[in-house]
Amino acid sequence: MQLVNGSRVVIVGGGPAGCLTALHLLRLAGESGLSLDVTILEARDFNRPGPGGCNKCAGILSSGLLRNLETIGLNLPPDVIQAELDAYVLHLGGMQLTIHRPDPARRIVSIYRGSGPRLGEPPFPHSFDGWLLDQARERGANVRRARVQIVRPGVRPVVATAHEQFEADLVVLATGVNSRAPLDPAWRYHAPRTEIMAQDEVPLPGGLIGDGVHIFFDHPPGLIFGGLIPKGRYANISLLGRKLPPDAVSDFLEGNGLASLLPNGAPVLCGCTPRVAVSAASGYYADRLVVVGDAAVTRLYKDGIGAAFATAEAAARTAIGRGISKHDFAAGYRPVCHRIATDNLYGRLLFRLWAATRHSPSLLAAWRRAILAEADLPLTARLHTRMLWSMFTGDEPYRKIFWLSFSWPALRSLWQGAFNHA
């Protein structure tokens, strides 16, 4: 099964995974002298404020993703960027630990997936997803406002909306995990396991570092971590935890002393409870079907759009360079998804180690002293700063961070931190 001149590729979902797949397909097809009909079907208007235009995401772009976008000629415009992030401030047990960017070249920014909070005021922020969809359209993709009801298998898959149905040579599913995958059960696709987050938008609190992400661990009960991310006039609150109470955001603000920093108390501007994938899907490729983005696999807790870029590129490269059969996707696409899933195992270990560290006052104090001792060292020698920065930003593979944490220089500096205290 091969794509040929005039083949129709239908992409279900116009978020980053879908748009990036379209961009990669059009680029690689052009390099191969192949002319494709690439159509993106997306029901939402990303230029609307509130849930109607939002993809339910904290909205941080890693330095790796920014570099990857530049490799395909996409330079993020300044009006899409809400904040340049230079530091992560960790709050736990009454202590603050500031982790500055270990390398000036590692640029991290915050964006809005839609056009800002539901109760925000003009001028509304520019949407990252809307900009990316425009880039796909400008480079040759057909974009249609339509909601896909079902995709049926066949000699050529049939894509059905409320008003029409048509055949495709290849269907790319990019609906994420917060929308129902419109696949006929005969495809035997099973979505990833998910966990639920609590998110909200508030006016930017006064008295906080304007270019820093603040991470909290203590409140509410069951919290794994909570982030407060500056975005222009606003701040995004993203809470990840187990069995969080219905009023988790209010408890978070009150318990961490943030409510008093907000104008007019703690106004709720836009709230949601998105799902985040914590495992890989099964059945995420078949003859003439491939699933990309977090509907297939994503990085654990961090850098979801970076993973969308990786899966989109691998799927497109397989479709153009190998073919569009199940066998082709197993050979060219599955290994990329498997690497991401395997890396997430190291991520789980790292978050468990961090949980053990923050519940041990002596070990946490040793970590803090090790980080402070690194302040005057060359960038390449700031190991603990780099590890924490990368773990909370997704800026490096979890596997790399894990083994770095057990390297002799890292263990020696941690031991020195504990010994100097003694």
C-alpha span between 3 and 5 (Å, rounded): 7
Burial of residue 37 (number of CB atoms within 10 Å: 0-12, 13-18, 19+)? middle
Q: Quick one: pLDDT at residue 421?
A: 52
Contact 367, 357 (CB under 8 A): yes
Distance of CA 212 to the CA centre of its chain: 18
Structure tokens at 192: 């990833």
Q: Say how far apart CA 247 and CA 250 lie, in whole Å.
A: 5
Res 243 pLDDT > 90: no
Helix (H, G, I), strand (E, B) or coil at 174: coil
> CA dist 413 to 367, 368, 405, 417, Å?
9, 11, 11, 6
- Token output for 160: 């059905």
> Residue 216 pairs with which residues in a beta bridge?
91, 226
Angle between helices 361-373 and 383-393 (to 10 degrees): 110
State CA 413 to chain mean position distance.
32
pLDDT surpassing 60 at residue 236: yes
DSSP helix/strand/coil, 265: coil
Query: Domains of the chain by range and CATH?
Result: 8-46+127-191+281-342 (3.50.50.60), 83-111+194-276 (3.30.9.10), 360-421 (no CATH)
For the chain, give the mean pLDDT: 91
Please state, as a whole number, how many other Cβ atoms lie within 10 Å of the Cβ of residue 422.
6
pLDDT for 118-166, tens place per residue?
888 888 899 999 999 999 999 999 999 999 999 999 999 999 999 999 9
Phi, psi of 67 (to 5 degrees): -65, -40
In sequence order, what are the residues at sequence separation of 6 or more whose Cβ sits closer than 8 angstroms to the Cβ of residue 158?
151, 152, 165, 166, 167, 168
Average pLDDT over residues 229-238: 90
H or E stretch including 10?
Answer: strand 8-12
Convert the pLDDT of each residue in 284-338 to its tens digit: 999 999 999 999 999 999 999 999 999 999 999 999 999 999 999 999 999 999 9
Q: Which two tokens stand for residue 20?
A: 């990036």
Q: How far apart are CA 20 and CA 69, in angstroms?
A: 9
Q: How many angstroms separate the CA atoms of 238 and 225, rounded? A: 8
* CA gap 187, 285 in Å, rounded: 9
- Tell me the pLDDT band of 381, cut-offs 50, 70 and 90: confident
Which helix (H) or strand (E) segment holds residue 66: the answer is: helix 63-71
User: β-pairing, 83-85 with 142-145?
Assistant: unpaired
| Cβ pair 404, 422 in contact under 8 A | no
